[in-house]
Chains A and B, each alone.
Chain A
Amino acid sequence: MAKKSLISEVKETQLAIELIQVGARLQVLESETSLSRERLLKLYKEVKGVSPPKGMLPFSADWFLTWMPNVHSSLFINTFRTITKHTECAGIEAVLKSYRLYQEFLVGNQIEEVLSFTRAWTLVRFFESRMLQTTACCKCGGNFVVHPNDLHTDYECGLCRMPSRAGKTKKAGMEASAMSASPAENTSRKLKQKKVA
């Protein structure tokens, strides 16, 4: 058996801790570090305080093509590509840093998280195995995640050509009405609702 270097073990443990903190599943840790399963389990429990979730990782490539996930995964993959292309950062380190930047974007703009770290990691793997690719939108010129076997001539992204009901969730509607209605109107509406009730 090859003798394990203590320093590399410490480094891997450090990486594993960071990955657990951003929400990586156990399978991600197993494939990115050479630490044993028992150690990773212990580490996970120590960092998170709970046992890791069981079951398979999300494996569908189609998920990344649905509207909202497509917006978020396109943002992530653009960040990841810029980082790997222009700096020496690569591999899991680059995934981690891109994910941190993605999280910062969410916090800065008060947008809810759609892409989990494990999904982001899966996305990069899908790109490596050419199960997904990006193509430029003919209107805005941005790069968006698409399926390699679809037709991409005159491709329009989900943001330039929005699906009719996209983003019109109950929550978004409530926020919009709260923003547009003046306070006085709001209270009168509430009163009406009360009367109806």
Chain B
Amino acid sequence: MNLDELMAEVREINLSYLMLAQQMVRQDKTMAAFRLGISQEVADLVGSLSPAQVLKLARSGMLLSRLRFEDDSILDMLANYTKGKSLAQSHAAILMAGQELTALA
């Protein structure tokens, strides 16, 4: 994959991510905040972006969504479960539900 292709992919993902996030926020702000892992202020901000702003953000060259694994324990549970699938998923869900959300400083 050359650089142009890479940047195009990043732009594509950013665009779909932002559009999906906006749709989720408009449908139900609380649930969207929980699912996206962002606080209500950030959710408000995302919801209020204009299409032009979304495009500009998507073109920034950085991936706007980031991994939510703070340490290797959640990743480990989801990737190589030894206790059985449903238990590992429940365990990971408990840890992820208790995570701090991204908030404005």
Contact = CB atoms under 8 A, between A and B. Distances in A.
B83 A81 contact: no
Nearest to A166: B87
A71 B90 contact: yes
Contacts of A111: 86, 89-90
A64 to B, nearest CB: 14
B90 A78 contact: no
Q: Is the interface of B mostly helix, strand, loop or mixed?
A: helix
Q: Is the interface of A mostly helix, strand, loop or mixed?
A: helix
B33 interface: yes
B40 to A, nearest CB: 4
Interface stretch (B12-20, B51-59, B96-104): B96-104
Interface residues of A, number: 32
Interface in A130-168: 140-144, 159, 162, 167
Interface of A: 71-72, 74-75, 78-79, 81-83, 86-89, 93-94, 97, 100-101, 105, 109-111, 140-144, 159, 162, 167, 172, 176
Interface of B: 28-31, 33-35, 39-40, 43, 73, 83-87, 89-91, 93-95, 97-99, 101, 103
